[in-house]
């Protein structure tokens, strides 16, 4: 049932959409029917797959890089009050800047290639990663800290055997936010200046009024985003089997 109902819902919406394009006689350059979108796929399967892989690669790379940058940054902030006071407001300010506004600057700085895309994605993703990691690191229950103190554990042991592991479910909350933002970041970056990727396909098809192709690219983006999200959720369930039940407990 968990699989059947969403599929039925999806099919119903597609059916309504199809019906609407026929009943209201909507031109396909305004709103293409599902058939038009599918035929766009069929016409250019190799091209669309290639563009999807470009976007996917940028997204995954940017996402991973934002973990590499974000987690140590969060640990530094949590570890030192001074660093927290120095950099936390900056981080908030950085996050407040609309990323669309930065994208053109990145193109100027880093060119039309993959670098500007990946860096924009990092910029979009790093904030949720930092925030969730930092709050996870601060969420260690007092009695567990006291337990390790009573065993005269070193700070290193306290970190690796307790605080970091305890933070992981929180970290994953941030990662799940970040992975969806990463796809959005990739598309924005490709809109502004790119020679490949699904975002590039969409902006090009807009210029040539090939709305079906744009819809096809959007559908692919949605599928990619969903797959990435659930892939991450799967990793979380496998890696932290204790997390869900434990959350219910405390």
Partner 1 sequence: MISLRQVTKVFDGGAGAVHSLAGVDLEVGAHEFVAVIGRSGCGKSTLLRLIAGLLAPTEGRITVAGEPVTKPRRDVSFMFQRPALLPWRSVLSNVLLPVEIFGLDRREGRDRARLLLDLVGLGGFEERLPHELSGGMQQRVSLCRSLIQSPEVMLMDEPFSALDAMTRTELSEELQRVQMELPRTVVFVTHSIEEAVVLADRIVVLSPRPGRVHRVVDVTAPRPRALGRADLDQVSRDLRVLLSEVTG
Chain contacts with partner 1 (rule: CB under 8 A): 141, 143-144, 146-153, 157, 161-162, 165, 240-243, 245-246, 248-249
Nearer to partner 1, 69 or 153 (CB): 153
Minimum CB–partner distance for residue 236 and partner 1 (Å): 13
Nearer to partner 1, 195 or 247 (CB): 247
Minimum CB–partner distance for residue 238 and partner 1 (Å): 13
- What is the rounded distance in angstroms from the CA atom of residue 192 to the CA atom of residue 74? 30
Nearer to partner 1, 65 or 240 (CB): 240
Burial of 44 (0-12, 13-18, 19+ CB in 10 A): middle
Nearer to partner 1, 195 or 238 (CB): 238
Minimum CB–partner distance for residue 75 and partner 1 (Å): 19
Minimum CB–partner distance for residue 137 and partner 1 (Å): 16
Nearer to partner 1, 149 or 237 (CB): 149
Nearer to partner 1, 50 or 146 (CB): 146
**DSSP states of the chain:** -TTHHHHHHHHHHHHHHHHHHHHTT--TTTS--HHHHHHHHHHSHHHHHHHHHHHHHHHHHHHHHHHHHHHHHHHHHHH-HHHHHHHHHHHHHHHHS-HHHHHHHHHHHH-SSHHHHHHHHHHHHHHHHHHHHHHHHT---HHHHHHHHHTT--HHHHIIIIIHHHHHHHHHHHHHHHHHHHHHHHHHHHHHS-SSSHHHHHHHHHHTT-HHHHHHHHHHHHHHHHHHHHHHHHHHHHH-TTHHHHHHH-
Minimum CB–partner distance for residue 76 and partner 1 (Å): 24
Minimum CB–partner distance for residue 86 and partner 1 (Å): 25
């Amino acid at each position: 049932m968990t699989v059947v109902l969403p599929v039925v819902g999806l099919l119903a919406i597609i059916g309504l959409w199809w019906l609407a394009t026929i009943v209201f006689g909507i031109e396909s350059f305004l709103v293409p029917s599902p058939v038009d979108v599918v035929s766009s796929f069929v016409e250019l399967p190799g091209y669309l797959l290639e563009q999807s892989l470009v976007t996917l690669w940028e997204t995954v790379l940017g996402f991973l890089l934002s973990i590499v940058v974000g987690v140590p940054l969060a640990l530094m902030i949590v570890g030192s009050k001074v660093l927290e006071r120095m950099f936390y407001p900056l981080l908030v300010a950085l996050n407040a800047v609309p990323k669309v506004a930065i994208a053109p600057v990145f193109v100027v700085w880093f060119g039309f290639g993959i670098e500007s895309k990946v860096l924009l994605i990092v910029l979009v993703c790093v904030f949720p990663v930092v925030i969730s990691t930092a709050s996870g690191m601060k969420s260690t229950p007092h009695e567990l800290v006291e337990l390790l103190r009573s065993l005269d554990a070193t700070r290193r042991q306290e970190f690796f055997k307790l605080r970091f592991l305890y933070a992981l479910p929180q970290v994953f909350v941030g990662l799940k936010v970040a992975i969806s933002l990463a796809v959005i970041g990739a598309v924005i970056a490709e809109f502004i200046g790119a020679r490949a990727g699904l975002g590039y396909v969409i902006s090009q098809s807009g210029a040539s009024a090939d709305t079906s192709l744009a819809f096809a690219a959007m559908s692919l983006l949605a599928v990619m985003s969903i797959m990435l999200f659930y892939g991450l959720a799967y990793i979380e369930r496998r890696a932290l089997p204790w997390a869900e039940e434990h959350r219910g407990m405390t």
